[in-house]
């Protein structure tokens, strides 16, 4: 004799209610919490990653303080003419403001739209890289032709090229997913695209940007599942190409020799000048630094203290503790961006996942190179510290890239709730 269902069970059955099934639980965990497709999902889950936003705001706020500290003595240098002590920090704040506007606009664009415009964005970046090389169009600074004048600021197309190659490589890997085991059909066309961008960047010259772009493309190929043998073959070709570029360029060879012995008589006043004074600045800072504003090296001893060598001023004024805190922040930033990319791939959104992870590779690698140069672990290379160094184009494109990552995270959480993107 079977038990009759209770009144409560019959009412639930009539109303169509059912117990949550295993299928309701999505295959992604964030912070150890499972998200279900229910209307009770907290509002914070549906928005963007607030922790990531606050870390970015913290880095930008600290950058304003340090750019002001590093550039406050610039008016005393005849090279810069009659400028105010706040000249560079005001331009930096304007660049951050423009970057925030660009980031807000980029966040409104869906990842499906980014995927559709990826080839056109890549072509547009190549056109701008060609325009830089046209006489009377490209702006020459310190012997390098890398900028286009926009009136209120100079724009550096190589920064756009980093983002464009990232978006294009992610789109390319999604389209070529079926033939990724075949070298000539899967890898060679992407290699040709990177080679074209590299040739234009070397003509400026800007080998640092070329290195970052090559590493971004390589990272996306690897994360996209390219055969390991093909990946190591491409890596060997790239290393050989960069070695050949250095060996055939006398001034690049001189930089390598200066890096190996920056305090020697032959290099201390030449190619090793920046590195030697960067090491002096960091050495003066010791453990806790000499205090905010107390740097001596920024007083016209260390060139480009507010751009490429901002970390050296941070090391002098805040010591080893300040440098370690900054390294931890960049490690957390890179790790969080990579996690967002993995979530997207787990939700079968491969393009979005590769884009986010590509941004993580970009931020992490460029920060690693800049810090390595400032600390004397790597040869001198003209790369800024992301989100920190003075430079309008870099700040703008860094914030746009972060906004795209936040968009990926937003769409991830929308799917976790059961919505559509």
Residue range 308-330, pLDDT digits in tens: 899 999 999 999 999 999 999 99
pLDDT at 21 over 50: no
How crowded is the C-beta side of 247, counted as CA atoms within 13 Å? 6
List, in sequence order, every beta strand (DSSP E) within 172-264: none
User: Cβ distance 115 to 416 under 8 Å?
Assistant: no
pLDDT in tens, 224-248: 877 777 778 778 888 888 888 888 8
Residue 378: DSSP 8-state: S
**Average pLDDT, stretch 5-23?**
45
**Beta partners for residue 141, in sequence order:** 144
**pLDDT recorded at residue 2:** 46
**pLDDT recorded at residue 57:** 96
Give the C-alpha separation, 88 to 65, whole Å.
Answer: 11
pLDDT at 58 over 60: yes
pLDDT in tens, 359-379: 999 999 999 999 999 998 888
- Give me the chain's average pLDDT, please: 83
Task: Tell me the pLDDT band of 6, cut-offs 50, 70 and 90.
Answer: low
Of 119-133, 202-216, 258-272, 355-369, the one with minimum mean pLDDT is: 258-272
Give the C-alpha separation, 323 to 314, whole Å.
Answer: 7
The domain segmentation of the chain, as residue ranges, is 51-119+159-417
Of 20-24, 106-110, 116-120, 129-133, the one with minimum mean pLDDT is: 20-24
Give the C-alpha separation, 253 to 245, whole Å.
Answer: 9
pLDDT at 150 over 90: no
**pLDDT recorded at residue 230:** 74
pLDDT in tens, 163-202: 999 999 999 888 876 655 566 666 777 888 888 998 899 8
Give the C-alpha separation, 403 to 53, whole Å.
Answer: 9
**pLDDT recorded at residue 185:** 66
CA separation (Å) from 229 to 72, 222, 233, 236? 52, 11, 6, 11
Give me the residue label for tokens 């390098």.
Answer: 144
What is the DSSP track for 47-80?
S--HHHHHHHHHHHHHHHHHHHHHHTTGGGSGGG
pLDDT at 380 over 90: no
**pLDDT recorded at residue 178:** 63
pLDDT at 26 over 60: no
Percent of the chain with pLDDT over 90: 46
Of 19-28, 283-292, 364-373, the one with minimum mean pLDDT is: 19-28
Task: Specify the 3-state DSSP secondary structure of 30.
Answer: strand
Give the C-alpha separation, 223 to 5, whole Å.
Answer: 53
- Candidates 125, 234, 132, 223; CA nearest to 173 is 223
Give the C-alpha separation, 306 to 304, whole Å.
Answer: 5
**pLDDT recorded at residue 416:** 86
**Average pLDDT, stretch 283-297?**
92
Contacts of 207 (CB under 8 A, 6+ apart): 201, 242, 245, 252, 381
Give the C-alpha separation, 402 to 390, whole Å.
Answer: 18
**Average pLDDT, stretch 254-271?**
80
**Average pLDDT, stretch 202-211?**
85
């Amino acid at each position: 004799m079977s038990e009759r269902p209770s009144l409560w069970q019959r009412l639930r059955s009539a109303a169509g209610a059912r117990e949550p099934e295993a299928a309701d639980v999505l295959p992604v965990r964030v912070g150890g919490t499972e998200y279900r497709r229910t209307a009770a999902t907290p509002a914070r889950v549906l928005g963007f990653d607030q922790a990531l936003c606050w870390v970015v705001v913290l880095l930008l706020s600290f950058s304003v303080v340090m750019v002001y500290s590093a550039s406050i003595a610039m008016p005393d240098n005849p090279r810069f003419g009659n400028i105010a002590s706040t000249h560079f920090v005001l331009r930096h704040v304007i660049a951050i403001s423009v970057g925030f506007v660009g980031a807000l606009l980029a966040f409104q664009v869906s990842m499906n739209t980014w995927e559709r415009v990826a080839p056109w964005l890549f072509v547009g970046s190549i056109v701008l890289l060609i325009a830089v090389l046209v006489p009377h169009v490209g702006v020459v600074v310190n012997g390098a032709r890398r900028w286009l004048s926009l009136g209120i600021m100079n724009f550096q197309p190589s920064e756009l090229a980093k983002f464009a190659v990232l978006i294009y490589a992610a789109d390319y890997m999604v389209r070529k997913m079926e033939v990724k085991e075949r070298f000539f059909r899967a890898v060679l066309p992407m290699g040709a695209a990177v080679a074209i961008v590299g040739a234009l960047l070397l003509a400026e010259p800007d080998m640092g940007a070329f290195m970052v772009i090559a590493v971004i493309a390589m990272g996306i190929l690897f994360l996209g599942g390219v055969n390991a043998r093909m990946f190591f073959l491409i890596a060997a070709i790239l290393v050989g190409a960069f070695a050949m570029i250095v060996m055939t360029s006398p001034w690049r060879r001189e930089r390598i020799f200066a890096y190996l012995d920056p305090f020697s008589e032959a290099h201390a006043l030449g190619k090793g000048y920046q590195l030697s004074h960067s090491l002096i600045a960091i050495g003066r800072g010791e453990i806790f630094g000499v205090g905010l504003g107390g740097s001596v090296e920024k007083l016209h001893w260390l060139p480009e203290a507010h751009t490429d060598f901002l970390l050296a001023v941070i090391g002098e004024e805040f010591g080893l503790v300040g440098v370690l805190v900054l390294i931890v922040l960049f490690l957390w930033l890179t790790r969080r961006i990579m996690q967002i990319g993995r979530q997207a791939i787990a939700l079968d959104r491969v393009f979005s996942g590769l884009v986010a992870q590509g941004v993580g590779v970009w931020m992490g690698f460029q920060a690693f190179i800049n810090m390595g140069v400032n600390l004397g672990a790597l040869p001198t290379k003209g790369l800024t510290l992301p989100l920190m160094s003075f430079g309008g184009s870099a700040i703008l494109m860094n914030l746009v890239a972060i906004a795209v990552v936040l968009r990926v995270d937003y769409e991830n959480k929308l799917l976790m709730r059961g919505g559509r993107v």
